[in-house]
Amino acid sequence: MKNDADPLRWETLPQRLHDFAAERDWQPFHAPKNLASALIVEAGELLEHFQWLTEDQSRALAQPGPAKDAVAAEMADVLLYLVQLASALEVDLLDAAARKMVVNAAKYPVEKARGRADRASEL
């Protein structure tokens, strides 16, 4: 496995995660179902940091400090499981995101959606 101090790049992240799991013999546990479940667990842990906060308090998490660091760690867990799931299912996340953005642009045209959240699902 590459040195953990090597800069992390999007292109090498799936392989580094694969190598990390392989070194620990975790592949038997990394079925897509298990990765999806772990992803949701981590997303729930991320959400815990926002539970009971006001909108302003949640925006304050952007300020440097222990709270932001804790949120960043949970976000990283979500990302890592998502990348592993994409790798297991052979999904190109950037391509899937690009295609989804085209769908969203058609579904939510600027002239109908600008500044509106109340009827976004109807657009």
On the 0-12 / 13-18 / 19+ scale of CB atoms within 10 A, 13 is: middle
Provide the residue type at 115 as one letter. G
* pLDDT tens digits, 42-87: 999 999 999 999 999 999 999 999 999 999 999 999 999 999 999 9
State the pTM of this model: 0.86
Contact 90, 27 (CB under 8 A): no
On the 0-12 / 13-18 / 19+ scale of CB atoms within 10 A, 61 is: middle
The full DSSP string for the chain is ---TTSPP-TTTHHHHHHHHHHHTT-GGG--HHHHHHHHHHHHHHHHHTTTT--HHHHHHTTSSSHHHHHHHHHHHHHHHHHHHHHHHTT--HHHHHHHHHHHHHHHS-HHHHTT--TTGGG-
- pLDDT exceeds 60 at position 24: yes
- pLDDT exceeds 70 at position 119: no
